[in-house]
Structure 1
Amino acid sequence: MTKKSIRKTFRFLVMIALFASCEKVIQVDLNSKDPQIVIEAEVTDDISTPQTVKITKSVNISDGETFSIVNGASVILNDNFGNNVTLTETSPGIYQNSGLQGVPGRIYYLTINVAGITYTSVCEMPQSVQLDTIIVNHSSGGGPGGGGPSGPGNGNSNRAESLTPVFQDPIGRGNYYKFKFQKDNETSTSLFLFSDEVVDGGVNNRSLRAGNISLNKEDTIRVIMMCIDKAVYKYFYGISANGNGPNASATPANPVSNITGGALGYFSAYSARTKSIKIE
């Protein structure tokens, strides 16, 4: 492989930034006569985060909205160690439970029943990867432009350009990562994906821009690194192909779901590591 093609492939896989919220990025045929169930389900080993399932339904665009809330669903989560919990609807369309602790290496089974129709999915939680530190990257010059650690910046010393999550990717291909930023009560609407399909077993030095979150001096930013499985990675990568990411497509299509039964969406069992850093 030539250096040019390596750089092209590396750049292609390094970062996928979607400047739309995760609640709006699922592409559906809004003019379809048949509404479709949309499931966004997550199980994590982060003890501060309850296991959460969001269920909506796509509706005809002529009805004046794109998604409607699904109430009264049966949502059951269990693992391969015999643990079983029923998620409670804590707010319209949101089902949660904190009784089942996510454990890396375990297999999780999701069963949802909506109006007599059953949807199922299976996902194994990847082993966690240590998030060592976060590097703050300031602009390197005073000229106009987006800048970054190696390019022209906006000359504003009170803001950072990007953050670099430093972690050691385990040797052996097949590690997939998703990142998000939080500041106060605000969560980044950009979606960042990393993969070791091109560069395996190295220390990450790839930076992330925070999208809608400004990185101002004295701000404290929380970075969440999620280890996800390949099916979930492919799902979100498929979303980027339908949006304004580097793999944007002129003919949008629904990303491949890992949920059976005809629903759109995804089920992700992920291990998470977090770091907070103050912008100096």
Structure 2
Amino acid sequence: MKKNKILIFFSLLILLVNCENEIALDDMSGKVVIEGNITDEAGPYYVKVTKSTKFFDGNGENFIENAKVVISDQNGQTETLVYDEDGTYQTINFHTHYGDTYTLSVTVEGNTYKATSKMPEYVEFSGLKQQMIYIYDEYRKGLIPLFTDPAAQENYCFFKSQVNDGEYFSYTPISDEGQDGQVNSKPLSRGFKEKDTVLVEMQCIDKQVYNYFKDLPQASFENNGETLSPINPIGNFSNGALGYFSAHTTATKTIIIE
């Protein structure tokens, strides 16, 4: 369960990214895939390293167990992560701070892949507002996450919602476009049923991570899969690796749909 709070998983059923980023399925097999997250909560933090497989080969994930995984920050803090299980590496003593920039370096078979991410300042997640929203060609009960956008700067958030303690998640990236300095009015990207218990996590993320999630089709968000798709939008890693590295804040709220 602890890894589920950190790692974000995707479906194997993505058919395309978009016209600009469309990639042939076979072209993505054998690519290094990295999922890395650090937060403003106490660690450990986790990084998952795998190799992508062909779209319909049915073999699941190829875990990489001998990678060298290092996280560092702008202040000279650095730590080599230790291997746990299922391609997952974890920190032991690494600490995070708002506003700092972090670098994740992953070396596999002599090739090194790097990504940087800046942890934004904390934004208070004040609550959830229930409202009817028009989604999937009909009106449904929706949720608007309530927070006040910090003015005069670009801000990006990512919301993860879980329904009735299940393994089903949906995800919504939100920017402050059109509501700079205002209380958010943009809803989560799915509807809910009466008496649903919904747990929503708010992450303040940087622009690169926002662009990554924005470019993923919503179909890939609403799933209970256990691996990144072999098709991926452009992430923030160098040297052709798939995936993303995110340094973000985290806060949660729970609500029962009326």
TM-score, normalising length: structure 2: 0.77
Cα–Cα, structure 1 residues 167 and 71, in superposed 2: closer, same or farther, change >3 Å?
same
Deviations 1:36-84 (A, max 9, x none): 101111111123x631211111234575446422222111111112222
For residues 84 and 36 of structure 1, the distance between their equivalents in structure 2, rounded to whole angstroms, comes to 26
1:134 lines up with 2:134 in the alignment? no
1:274 lines up with 2:252 in the alignment? yes
Cα–Cα, structure 1 residues 136 and 123, in superposed 2: closer, same or farther, change >3 Å?
same
For residues 221 and 38 of structure 2, the distance between their equivalents in structure 1, rounded to whole angstroms, comes to 28
- Once the two structures are TM-superposed, the CA of residue 201 in structure 1 deviates from its matched residue by 1.1
Cα–Cα, structure 1 residues 220 and 59, in superposed 2: closer, same or farther, change >3 Å?
closer
* Partner AA of 1:235 in structure 2: Y
Deviations 1:127-159 (A, max 9, x none): 1111111123369xxxxx8424xxxxxxxxxxx
For residues 72 and 125 of structure 1, the distance between their equivalents in structure 2, rounded to whole angstroms, comes to 28
Cα–Cα, structure 1 residues 266 and 164, in superposed 2: closer, same or farther, change >3 Å?
same
Counterpart pick for 2:139 among 147, 164, 179? 147
- RMSD value over aligned CA atoms? 3.2
- 2:166 corresponds in structure 1 to 186
For residues 88 and 216 of structure 1, the distance between their equivalents in structure 2, rounded to whole angstroms, comes to 44
* Partner AA of 2:47 in structure 1: V
**Greater Rg, structure 1 or structure 2?**
1
- 2:45 corresponds in structure 1 to 51
Do the aligned residues in 2 keep the contact of 1:173 with 1:197 (CA within 8 Å)? no
Counterpart pick for 2:176 among 196, 202, 217? 196
Cα–Cα, structure 1 residues 81 and 185, in superposed 2: closer, same or farther, change >3 Å?
farther
| SS of the residue 2:170 aligns to | coil
1:232 lines up with 2:224 in the alignment? no
1:115 lines up with 2:109 in the alignment? yes
1:172 lines up with 2:143 in the alignment? no
For residues 171 and 125 of structure 2, the distance between their equivalents in structure 1, rounded to whole angstroms, comes to 18
For residues 255 and 190 of structure 2, the distance between their equivalents in structure 1, rounded to whole angstroms, comes to 13
Cα–Cα, structure 1 residues 163 and 62, in superposed 2: closer, same or farther, change >3 Å?
closer
**% identity of equivalent residues:** 35
For residues 183 and 33 of structure 1, the distance between their equivalents in structure 2, rounded to whole angstroms, comes to 32
5 Å matches for 1:16-35? 22-24=10-12, 29-32=24-27, 35=30
Do the aligned residues in 1 keep the contact of 2:170 with 2:221 (CA within 8 Å)? no
| Higher mean displacement: 81-90 or 228-237 | 81-90
Q: 5+ unaligned residues in a row in structure 2: which ranges?
A: 1-7, 18-22, 223-230
- 1:262 corresponds in structure 2 to 240
Cα–Cα, structure 1 residues 272 and 195, in superposed 2: closer, same or farther, change >3 Å?
same
Do the aligned residues in 2 keep the contact of 1:110 with 1:120 (CA within 8 Å)? yes
For residues 93 and 46 of structure 2, the distance between their equivalents in structure 1, rounded to whole angstroms, comes to 12
- Once the two structures are TM-superposed, the CA of residue 221 in structure 1 deviates from its matched residue by 2.6
- 2:84 corresponds in structure 1 to 90
For residues 33 and 279 of structure 1, the distance between their equivalents in structure 2, rounded to whole angstroms, comes to 40
| SS of the residue 2:173 aligns to | strand
Do the aligned residues in 1 keep the contact of 2:70 with 2:106 (CA within 8 Å)? yes
Do the aligned residues in 2 keep the contact of 1:44 with 1:101 (CA within 8 Å)? no
For residues 149 and 47 of structure 2, the distance between their equivalents in structure 1, rounded to whole angstroms, comes to 29
Cα–Cα, structure 1 residues 34 and 164, in superposed 2: closer, same or farther, change >3 Å?
closer
For residues 192 and 244 of structure 1, the distance between their equivalents in structure 2, rounded to whole angstroms, comes to 8
Do the aligned residues in 2 keep the contact of 1:45 with 1:104 (CA within 8 Å)? yes
Cα–Cα, structure 1 residues 188 and 129, in superposed 2: closer, same or farther, change >3 Å?
farther
| SS of the residue 1:32 aligns to | helix
Q: 5+ unaligned residues in a row in structure 1: which ranges?
A: 1-19, 140-144, 149-160, 246-252
